Structure 1
Amino acid sequence: MRRVTVLGGCGAFPEPGRACSGFLVEWDGYRLVLDLGYATLPRLLTLCPDGEVDAVVITHEHPDHCIDLHGLFRMHFYGRTRSRTIPLYCPPGVLDRLVGLEPDVDLRAVFTLHELPGEYQVGPLSLTGVALPHYVPDVGVRLRAGRTVLAYTGDTGPDPLLAELGRDADLYIVEATDRPGGGPESSRNLLTAEEAGRWATRAGAKRLMLSHFWPGNNRHQARSAARTTYAGDIVTAEENLTIEFGRAEDPRPAHRLA
């Protein structure tokens, strides 16, 4: 099985019935989580009972991207004993933020920290973390397995590195916050849907997934805005949406899990 499943696609805080940023990447039995924002952990547990994942990647320390990592920690710290720790790839501020929630325990009892940005071999996946502009240190993530590439921006403002991060990606997950009052491009640390499409075009990405929607925003309108700057296939990050990758290295049609 080679697929990515959306755990959540909201920014800031979850809308009713939804969750904040989170994705599960499954590749030939290896399970890697990209971000664990508000309300993503229960969704992850429906796919990975007992929280049995092989690695976690967190793009930055804002709670709509990392808060449920603490829940995953508690499952393994207070629950049944693990035979090994879980590799955690993230900027240093992520653990610092979570330590404040429970300062009397050591998060490294469950997680082995690998700092981003940087390059790592993570199971069958080559991981590259690229520093991108945001209010706190943030990394975009590029995963490669053979000829297949999955790229994810986390949260970011406009930056030339976005074209390289998503270069020829089979799937490029790009934040499209469309936050009201975002201001001029030169001073922002978030993207619009139109900009998401523009960067996916510059990257030559084969498929674009829009994510990190500001609560209350119309996702259909966001998709239409991205269509003005990107001619390829566009999907929005809907909870339980899956995109499968075939052995021929081409993404298969998206579908929703039951």
Structure 2
Amino acid sequence: MKLTILGGDGAWPSYGGACSGYLVEHAGFRLLIDPGYGVAARVGAAIDAVYVTHGHPDHCADLNPLLRRIDATEEKPIDVYAPAHALDQVLALDRPGWLESTYDLHEFTPGEAYAIGPFRATTVDLPHFLANAGIRLSAGGETIAYTGDTGPSDRLRELADGVDILLHEASYARTTDSEFLSTARVAGQTAAAAQAKNLILTHLFPTTDREEAMRAATSAYDGPVTIARPS
């Protein structure tokens, strides 16, 4: 599998940056995970499917320009996977019916498992302000896990167990009072407990100190750690 970071900012994009957006490729299949603000301009070639963890706009707003592009260029329709009703608002941005021919919507309940092209996708219900489905993707003997946005949860260990790459939300560096967001330190603890081979911190707020986030993660996890930045 090939992972390309298209964006990694949380809540709003930093200058010249983009919010959550991750392209996973295998056997010629291109899966876009979380088309947040600024991601559509970075996708490049046509994609085959989109997976959305939850309905906050920094994770799904750029689905609209992606669908507009498909309509204008007559690309093939894409499969879109999201928790039930997560995309109601973004799909209602344009006049009714205009973009319906550009996608096939597959709504699911977090916790379900299914195939997306060549990938085996296992979803995990994780705590957030909205229904949030972390995802574990396997193909070709490799596995990538992504939390979406999440607070502390015992299910994070299930999501991340033994993965090659763990993409873990880290809105803050070390501490937060929120039950629905995480820190770089928690990300490091999760990676260590799950014996993940690599940790990528993502969804850092533009105001979060990146160096402090790295120190927080590496104080809990001794494997390779990076911060999600557009490739």
- Same-fold call, TM > 0.5? yes
Any conservation in 1 of the 2:147–2:167 contact (CA below 8 Å)?
yes
Contact 1:95–1:107, Cα closer than 8 Å, also in 2: no
Give, as a single letter, the amino acid of the residue that structure 1 aligns with 2:115: Q
Determine the structure 1 residue equivalent to 2:77. Answer: 85
Does structure 1 conserve the Cα–Cα contact (< 8 Å) formed by 2:173 and 2:185?
no
- Alpha-carbon displacement from aligned partner over 1:198-240 (angstroms, at most 9, x marks no partner): 1111111010000001112121210110011111110110111
TM-score (norm 2): 0.94
Do the aligned partners of 1:60 and 1:93 also contact (CA within 8 Å) in 2?
Answer: no
Contact 1:89–1:115 (CA under 8 A) maintained in structure 2: yes
- The aligned residue for residue 15 of structure 1 is 14
Please name the residue that 1:196 is paired with. 187
Shift of 1:88: 0.8
Aligned counterpart in structure 2 of residue 165 of structure 1, from 159, 165, 170 = 159
Secondary structure (helix, strand or coil) at the match of 1:87 reads strand
C-alpha distance in structure 2 between counterparts of 1:161 and 1:108, whole Å: 35
Residues 180 and 38 of structure 1, relative CA distance in 2, 3 Å threshold: farther
CA distance in 1, matches of 2:129, 2:85: 12
Distance 1:196 1:180, change over 3 A: closer
Q: Give yes or no for the alignment of 1:229 onto 2:220.
A: yes
* Residue among 98, 104, 108 paired with 2:90: 98
CA deviation string 1:62-104 (max 9, x = no partner): 0000000011111122x1324x421111112232121331242
Contact 1:60 1:136 in 2 (8 A): yes
- The correspondence for 1:122, drawn from 97, 116, 121, is 116
Provide the rounded CA distance (Å) in 1 between the counterparts of 2:196 and 2:189: 11
Q: 1:218 & 1:107 partners in 2: Cα distance?
A: 40
Aligned-residue Cα RMSD (Å) equals: 1.7
Change (3 A) 1:126 1:10: same
Aligned letter for 1:37?
G
Shift of 1:112: 1.1
**In structure 1, distance between residues paired with 2:166 and 2:174:** 24
In structure 1, list runs of 5 or more residues that go unmatched: 241-258
What secondary structure does 2:120 align onto? strand
Deviations along 1:153-193, one digit per CA (max 9) or x if unpaired, are: 0000100000010110000000000189831xxx5100011
Q: Which runs of 5+ in 2 are unaligned?
A: none
